[in-house]
Structure 1
Amino acid sequence: MFRSSPAVRPPGPQPPRLPTGRQRHDSKITVYISSDELFALEQLRLTLRGEHGLPVDRGRLVREAVAAMIADFDAHGEHSTLVRRLSGGGP
């Protein structure tokens, strides 16, 4: 059984976390989303491609979103968007 120890953050400001971008990744997770969420993700991908010239795939969008949430949490802790949303406080 795999057990991970809690992450310990050193005190002080942390360097920004950047998404990995387009590269071969050695870890994989499966995430189940609703058809509406998948449709919204695909619409976002097409908008980024059509209106902004950014040919990104859905995996890249998810990695960018994860990096943004982690950075927001690192910067704001209990006042982060993630904590607020997970505790039912809305967007």
Structure 2
Amino acid sequence: ASAAAAAPARRRGRSPNRRPSGRERHDEKITVYVSAEELMDLEHARLVLRGEHGLAVDRGRIVREAVAVVLADLESRGDASILVRRLRGR
């Protein structure tokens, strides 16, 4: 079998039922730099989720969920998606 055949198929778009991973080991990694304010906002969200909603999740889980929501919106709404609008400054 060729290397291309052995590699996992790359999907175009996301299944509407696809959920971000929860608490599990992840083999892939990216580094994202954020401002101090963005980090504080993320930590505040973590504490609100825990204190007000009973959800003990880490910042990575919050980020994965947020990315899944934004990508699903992009897939379904395209040019009208929140991501496109924000990146265009609207």
Query: TM-score, normalization: structure 1?
Result: 0.81
3-state SS of paired residue (1:44): helix
Structure 2: distance between partners of 1:56 and 1:8? 28
Structure 1: which 5+ runs fail to align? 1-6
- Displacement of 1:79 in angstroms is 0.7
Structure number with higher helix proportion = 2
Query: What is residue 69 of structure 1 aligned with on the other side?
Result: 70
Structure 2: which 5+ runs fail to align? 1-9
Same amino acid, percent of matched pairs:
61
Query: What is residue 27 of structure 1 aligned with on the other side?
Result: 28
Query: What is residue 51 of structure 2 aligned with on the other side?
Result: 50
Number of corresponding residues: 80
Cα RMSD of the aligned pairs, angstroms, is 1.7
Give 1:26's aligned amino acid: D
Structure 1: distance between partners of 2:12 and 2:30? 24
1:23-76 Cα shifts (integer Å, max 9, x gaps): 111100000000000001001100100011000000000000000011000110
CA spacing shift, 1:8–1:47, aligned 2, 3 Å:
closer
Structure 2: distance between partners of 1:40 and 1:55? 16
- Displacement of 1:8 in angstroms is 7.2
Give 1:80's aligned amino acid: S
Query: What is residue 60 of structure 1 aligned with on the other side?
Result: 61
Query: What is residue 15 of structure 1 aligned with on the other side?
Result: 15
